[in-house]
Amino acid sequence: MAEQFHYPPEVLNLLVDTIPLLCRSKKDVVLFLQGAGVAQEDLAEVSRTVRTNAASINKYEIARTVLTKVNVRGDSGLRPRREIIKRAVEFEEFSTCCPMTS
């Protein structure tokens, strides 16, 4: 049976574009997703890459890789999918999104 995506493509792409802007570093992207309840097995590959060879991956690739894994999960991915959207929508500290000018 084909994998069923739960986020529509436009929502997935918006999250992939937004989460890296909300997080200052690659480790922060991983922490954002971990804090949303993403399963450790969905984070393991990118976490290892960030620890061992951070230059080989960017924040957008981290977000896309993990969100795609969460998106294909059935009921077990429902809570993290909802929490990721909730955290992105309720984000209040935007100083990481653009440099502050004096």
Tens of pLDDT along the chain (102 residues) come to: 445 668 888 999 999 999 999 999 999 999 999 999 999 999 999 999 999 999 999 999 999 999 999 999 888 889 999 999 999 999 876 665 555 444
65, 46 Cβ separation under 8 angstroms? yes
pTM: 0.84
Distance CA 50, CA 57 (A): 7
The closest alpha carbon to 85, from 27, 38, 26, 24, belongs to 38
